[in-house]
DNA sequence: TTTATTTCCTACTAATTCAGTCAAGTTTAA
DNA sequence: TTAAACTTGACTGAATTAGTAGGAAATAAA
């Protein structure tokens, strides 16, 4: 079992996508800028997310990615599953042949833990995440930085005619 | 966050220790034979378990390892913590500086998940594990193999005088 | 006192995965 | 037609895993 940057980045990016869904397709370049994730790495992650049917892509200028389903219909577990192998805690992939064809002494413990983790992550939808206070604050901070850049660009444009 | 063979072996070995506690100190060689874990690897794991005060050692012939506390007083979480870094799911070790000094968009999600996992594993003591049916069965199977070997040895000894 | 058994300690290694880069493509709106 | 944007595959340095190897120290038993 593992949860690494890969799975964490995927959820973060999907959440960014959900937050900025109103503006049409979101480019990986924008996500990269806001979330501090390298563009090339995002490309790899979204290839998997697309293959699992979680997002759809729009190519060409003005294109980007969109969620395939509404935010209440996407939960964190499936995002992590899409990019990470899984959150399975057993060694035997739940086969029960962990020690010479038989169950190891702790097989059922890890089975229970796997269920526990999966249930927890399954219960959390993107919509629920968006509605959380801390996340809205963080999102505003990230967008604020972006707005500042836009403002700076616009005022400069005004000066230059 | 990760749960690998290291953490799983540690819990398995501690459980083996708990099950055979009545026979006095348990040697790593015995555990290695019963649980199919390499002796050298066990030595590394028990060095950490000893440093964390979970087991005490008796050197010399007939020696081995003993639990430092009674089985209800040892839970799975502390065993995993002793050998694995931790089951912390955040990237920032709960510091909240995951993205350029600020919290990343999903910081609180991973914080909650970490708590969830830790609480779950904390609630499970070695005593609870021992009392589980599947574990008793597995233990009997493992000891059975061992008993067969002892029987074979004894009957051979009888033949040889 | 010797010997066998056991823990203790350090160093090494092959394989895997992570996290990310690089370089070439293809699509398609403007 | 052109450039923005996605797509794909190969590659890489660093870290971690899952061990192995070899010996030193302690100690109970012969």
Neighbouring residues of B136: CB distance < 8 A, sequence distance ≥ 6: B130
Q: How far apart are CA A41 and CA B99, in angstroms?
A: 16
| Phi, psi dihedral angles at B94 (to 5 degrees) | 65, 15
Tally the domains of chain B: 1
| A159 lies in some domain | no
Q: Is the pLDDT of residue A146 over 60?
A: no
Q: What tokens were used for B92?
A: 């920032």
pLDDT of A39 reads 86
| Beta bridge mates, B125 | B75
Q: Is A89 within the bounds of a domain?
A: yes
Q: Is residue B153 part of a domain?
A: no
Instruction: Give a yes or no: residue A160 inside a domain.
Output: no
Q: What percent of chain A has pLDDT over 90?
A: 18
To 10 degrees, the CA torsion angle through B23, B28, B33, B34?
50
Q: Please give the distance of CA B74 from its chain centroid, rounded to a whole number.
A: 10
CA angle (B121 as vertex; B118, B125 as ends), nearest 5? 140
What CATH number does the domain containing A67 carry? Answer: 1.10.10.10
Is residue A90 in some structural domain?
yes
Query: What pLDDT is attached to residue B57?
Result: 93
Nucleotide with minimal C1' distance from the CA of A30 is D5
Residue A121 forms part of a structural domain: yes
Q: Is residue B124, in this structure, part of any structural domain at all?
A: yes
Cβ A83 vs Cβ A10: under 8 Å: yes
Q: Do A104 and B76 touch (CB under 8 A)?
A: no
Q: Which residues of A touch B124 (CB under 8 A)?
A: 109
3-state secondary structure of A91: coil
A49, HSE (Cβ side, Cα atoms, 13 Å): 32
Residue A39's domain spans which residues? 5-130
- Read off the pTM: 0.84
Nucleotides of chain D touched by protein CB (<7 A): 3-10, 16-22, 25-29
pLDDT in tens, A104-135: 889 999 989 988 988 999 999 999 999 988 88
Residues belonging to chain A: 161
With respect to residue B154, please indicate whether it lies within any of the assigned structural domains: no
Token pair belonging to B77: 């979480």
């Amino acid at each position: 079992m593992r949860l690494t940057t890969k799975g964490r980045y995927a959820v973060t990016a999907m959440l960014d996508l959900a937050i900025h869904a109103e503006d049409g397709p979101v480019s990986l370049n924008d996500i990269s800028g806001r979330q501090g994730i390298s563009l090339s790495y995002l490309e790899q992650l979204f290839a998997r997310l697309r293959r699992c049917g979680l997002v759809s892509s729009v190519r060409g200028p003005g294109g980007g990615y969109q969620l395939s389903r509404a935010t209440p219909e996407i939960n964190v577990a499936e995002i992590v599953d899409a990019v990470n192998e899984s959150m399975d805690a057993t060694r035997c992939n739940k086969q029960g042949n962990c020690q010479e064809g038989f169950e190891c002494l702790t097989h059922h413990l890890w089975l229970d833990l796997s269920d526990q983790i999966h249930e927890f992550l399954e219960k959390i939808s993107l919509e629920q995440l968006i509605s959380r206070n801390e996340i809205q604050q963080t999102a505003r901070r990230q967008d604020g930085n972006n707005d500042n850049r836009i403002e700076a660009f616009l005022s400069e444009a005004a000066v230059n005619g």
